[in-house]
Amino acid sequence: MGGEPEQAQPLAPTSAAGSDEGARRRRMKWCGCISLSLLLLVVVIIIILIFTVFKVKDPKVTMNQVKVTNLDLKVDAVPRLQIRGNMTLAVAMSIKNPNAVSFRFDNTTTTIDYHGTTVAEAYGPAGRAKARSTFPMNLTVDVMADRLMRSSDLFTDITGAGEMNMTSYSIVPGRVNIWNIVKKHVEVRMNCSLTIDINGQSVKDMNCKRQVKL
């Protein structure tokens, strides 16, 4: 007998789409966790390197040698007692950089005093000491004769022991830059005392002390 045709029942919604969406979210979470972990690991490694391998160490300035290249001091008694002369020194210095990155320094200054009076000034050019290397620096220092002659101790030194006691003071300002993360301004100072043999035209004794200001 005829009856109404059976209506097709709607199929139950599949769970495949929901499963794919859940898997995609889980993958995103895992990727996010892995990326964050790698980022933290990189940050930790950088911090460790900065405080170990790349830790800023003090550069060292050394006065290797001071040579008298010109020394002509004379005492004249006629027509009146006076001292004439000139003096030139060749100074050999070096900057040792123990850091794992380069040390850039600005113009250096070296002054020489004689019994408390500055009688010479010399300026060295700016430069760069490479990582874990030594940068040589040579200076020619011309002593200002007029200032030297003003000292009341010069006559005694020439006619007496034949020695001149002088002091030098050098300043080397610079900076150490680690990946633009750690920037340290460094100023190396060095004081030296030296005894010059007038007759032998040589430096007999030299003692230096360094000081580093970060």
Which pLDDT does position 14 carry in this prediction? 53
Buried b (16+ CB within 10 A) or exposed e, 168-198: bebbbbbebebeeeeeeebbbebebebebbb
Domain boundaries, the chain: 15-52, 60-213
Which pLDDT does position 15 carry in this prediction? 57
Which pLDDT does position 192 carry in this prediction? 94
Which pLDDT does position 96 carry in this prediction? 93
Which pLDDT does position 108 carry in this prediction? 92
194-211 residue pLDDT tens? 999 988 888 988 999 988
Q: How many CB atoms lie within 10 A of CB 158?
A: 18
* Cis? peptide before 79, omega within 30° of 0: yes
Residues of the chain with pLDDT under 50: none
Class of domain 60-213: mainly beta
Global pTM value: 0.69
The answer to whether 87 touches 145, Cβ cutoff 8 Å, is yes
Which pLDDT does position 110 carry in this prediction? 93
Which pLDDT does position 194 carry in this prediction? 93
